[in-house]
C-alpha cells in the first residue's frame, strides 16, 4: 500500500457458492467506524421430568457467523456528484435484488483492502435517510445491513479433509476441551463421544484433563 492511501471497503457479488463467478463490485465512499461479527454455538436440551433437576444441554454444533455493517451515502456534492438514490440502487442491486439467472440473491464477499472481512449472504437491510433536500430528495443516508456466513463447498471440503472421519486421529486435550466438542471437530457430530470414551477405556466421558492424548477411531 502506498503511503497516505486509504483502503476502502469493497463489496463483491458472485453468482455461485464457490465465489468464482464475479458479477460486479461496489466500493464505499466512507469507511465504517466499526463492524460487528457474531458467532453462535448450538445446543440441544434434554428435558427433565417435572420436579426434577435442571436440564442438561448437549453440544450440537457451530452455527453460521453473522455480520453487521453500516453503509454511508452522501449526495451533497462534497464527496461525489452521484445522487444518494443512485448509489443505494447500485449497492442493493448487488446484494439484495433477485438474480434471475440463479433464481436467488447473489453471494457476497466484503473486502477491506486486501483482507477478506466476510463472505456470505444478505439477510436484511434498513435504510435511514439522515438529510433531506427541500423537495424530499435524500442527501445523506445510512444502510444498516445484516449478513449470514456461507462457506464455499471447496472451503468446507478442505476443512473436512483436515478432520476426515475415515481416518484415525490422535488429539491432545487442551483447557476448555470436552469430549463432545472434540468429537464435533473430528466427525462433525458431537454424538460419538460415548463411543470414543469406550474406545479410550474412559470410565466417564468427562474424565479427561489438559495434556491427555485421545484417540479418535474412524467412523464405520
Give me the DSSP letters along 79-130. Answer: S-SS-HHHHHHHHHHHHTS-BTTTTBPPEEEEEETTEEEEEEEEEEEEEEEE
Is there a single domain that holds both residue 70 and residue 26? Answer: yes
Burial 111-132 (b: 16+ CB within 10 A, else e): bbeeeebbbbbbeebeeebeee
Is there a single domain that holds both residue 30 and residue 125? Answer: yes
In whole angstroms, how large is the CA radius of gyration of the chain? Answer: 24
Query: Is 82 exposed, middle or buried (CB count within 10 Å of its CB: 0-12, 13-18, 19+)?
Result: middle
What nine digits make up the cell of 212? 491427555
Say how many C-beta atoms besides its own lie within 10 A of residue 197's C-beta: 19
pLDDT of the residue at 112? 85
Q: For residue 29, tell me if it sits in a domain.
A: yes
Q: For residue 62, tell me if it sits in a domain.
A: yes
* CATH code of 137's domain: 2.40.30.200
Q: Tell me the C-alpha distance between 138 and 76, whole Å.
A: 9
Is there a single domain that holds both residue 103 and residue 195? Answer: no
Q: Tell me the C-alpha distance between 87 and 79, whole Å.
A: 12
Q: Tell me the C-alpha distance between 82 and 24, whole Å.
A: 18
Is there a single domain that holds both residue 109 and residue 176? Answer: no
Is there a single domain that holds both residue 67 and residue 120? Answer: yes
pLDDT of the residue at 189? 83
Is there a single domain that holds both residue 110 and residue 175? Answer: no
Domain span at residue 197?
163-216
User: Rounded to two decimals, what is the model's pTM?
Assistant: 0.65
| Intervals of the chain under pLDDT 50 | 1-3, 220
pLDDT of the residue at 156? 60
Amino acid at each position: 500500500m502506498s503511503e497516505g492511501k486509504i483502503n476502502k471497503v469493497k463489496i463483491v457479488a458472485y453468482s455461485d457458492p464457490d465465489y468464482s463467478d464475479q458479477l460486479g463490485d461496489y466500493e464505499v465512499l466512507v469507511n465504517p467506524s466499526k463492524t460487528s461479527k457474531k458467532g453462535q454455538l448450538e445446543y440441544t436440551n434434554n428435558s427433565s421430568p417435572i420436579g426434577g433437576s435442571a436440564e442438561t444441554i448437549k453440544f450440537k454444533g457451530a452455527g453460521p457467523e453473522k455480520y453487521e455493517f453500516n453503509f454511508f451515502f452522501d449526495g451533497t456534492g462534497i464527496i461525489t456528484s452521484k445522487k444518494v438514490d443512485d448509489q443505494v440502487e447500485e449497492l442493493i442491486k448487488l446484494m439484495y435484488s433477485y438474480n434471475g439467472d440463479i433464481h436467488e440473491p447473489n453471494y457476497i464477499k466484503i473486502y477491506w483492502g486486501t483482507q477478506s472481512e466476510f463472505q456470505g449472504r444478505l439477510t436484511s437491510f434498513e435504510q435511514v435517510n439522515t438529510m433531506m433536500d427541500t423537495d424530499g430528495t435524500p442527501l445523506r443516508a445510512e444502510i444498516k445491513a445484516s449478513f449470514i456466513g456461507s462457506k464455499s463447498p471447496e472451503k468446507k471440503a478442505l476443512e473436512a479433509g483436515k478432520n476426515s472421519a475415515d481416518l484415525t486421529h490422535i488429539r491432545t486435550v487442551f483447557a476448555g476441551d470436552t469430549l463432545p466438542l472434540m468429537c464435533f471437530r473430528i466427525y462433525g457430530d458431537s454424538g460419538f463421544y460415548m463411543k470414543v470414551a469406550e474406545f479410550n477405556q474412559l470410565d466417564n466421558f468427562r474424565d479427561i484433563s489438559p495434556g491427555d492424548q485421545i484417540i479418535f477411531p474412524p467412523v464405520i
